[in-house]
Amino acid sequence: MLTNLHIYSGLGNVIAIIDAIRSDLSIDSTHVTNICSVQGINFDQLLVVLPPQKADIDLDVKIYNKDGSLALNCINGARCLAKFIKDNDLLVKECFDVQTDGGIWNLEIIDDTTFTASFTFVEKVTKLSYEYDENDINLSCLDLGNPHGVTFESLPQGSNFVELGKDLQNSDNFPEGINFGVAQIISEDEINLRVYERGAGETLACGSGACAAAVLGIIEKNLVSPVKVNFKLGSLLVDYQTEKEQIRAEGKAEFLEIKEIYI
């Protein structure tokens, strides 16, 4: 059947959204890869919006990477979802709770272009030294629904970021893959970040990657919350409240277009 694919941008991270509430649709990984590879529509992640299964939840969401694999978190996608909800009058309130496979998003509409996504994080960081091309890459790893490994060190001269990201996906250390981030500290409350996402490759922005880098910077590098995380096309402001065990990310989201697709 024909349906609409709503395409948004979270700081350049292309998010596709399918409304499976007002349309009787059943989406799986095969549909996702078909949309991307056969129907030729590019995106980084695809969100399927579903009716809530719990009385205290407003919506459920399934998150897919463009290779069809399931993702458990996507903070750029969360903010794009908030804009989609506002654009389509899907809910009548400004704050709402969304159930994902990785936990609950608490979303808030700030204005027409700015949205926040908050979620719980119980601090648990592991350290790993990864050998690549005869060099050791020191990673700090944590799980935000999706697994993340971040280094605050410059990559060895001649290293290829994308090839290193691909190599990490095949490591026995990360049987489910890893979102790999390279962070550069600008000041006590600002960093630049580059991310290779499992299932998607290098993206212009990664919301959960921004949260991971900011949290690790606060824990390990004495960064001061909130941390401004810069990508090529914009920034996220990440606030980590250790006593509340909560991460809050604020940033822009914009509508791009609607594509008609076949499911």
Q: What is the pLDDT of residues 23-69, one digit of tens each?
A: 888 899 999 999 998 999 999 999 999 999 999 999 999 999 999 99
Same domain, 190 and 239: yes
Could you tell me if 98 and 156 lie in one domain? Answer: no
Beta bridge mates, 17:
6, 47
Task: Please give the tally of structural domains in the chain.
Answer: 2
Same domain, 160 and 257: no
Q: Where are the alpha helices (DSSP H) in the chain?
A: 29-33, 75-87, 161-169, 207-220
pLDDT of residue 21: 92
| CATH number, position 184 | 3.10.310.10
Which pLDDT band holds residue 22 (cuts at 50, 70, 90)? confident
Contacts of 204 (CB under 8 A, 6+ apart): 11, 12, 13, 231, 232, 233
Of all residues in the chain, what percent carry a pLDDT higher than 70?
100
Q: Are 21 and 88 within one domain?
A: yes
The residue to which tokens 């059943």 are assigned? 26
Question: Same domain, yes or no, for 103 and 169?
Answer: no
Q: Which residues are catalytic?
A: 74, 206
Question: Can you give the pLDDT at residue 248?
Answer: 97
Residue 124 has pLDDT above 90, yes or no: no
Residues pairing with 135 in the sheet = 132
Residue 191's domain spans which residues? 126-250
pTM: 0.90
Pairing type for strands 2-10 and 13-19 reads antiparallel
ω into residue 147 within 30 of 0, thus cis?
A: no
User: In the prediction, which pLDDT does 145 show?
Assistant: 85
Average pLDDT over the chain reads: 94
State residue 135's pLDDT score.
86
Of 162, 164, 89, 177, residue with least CA distance to 132: 164
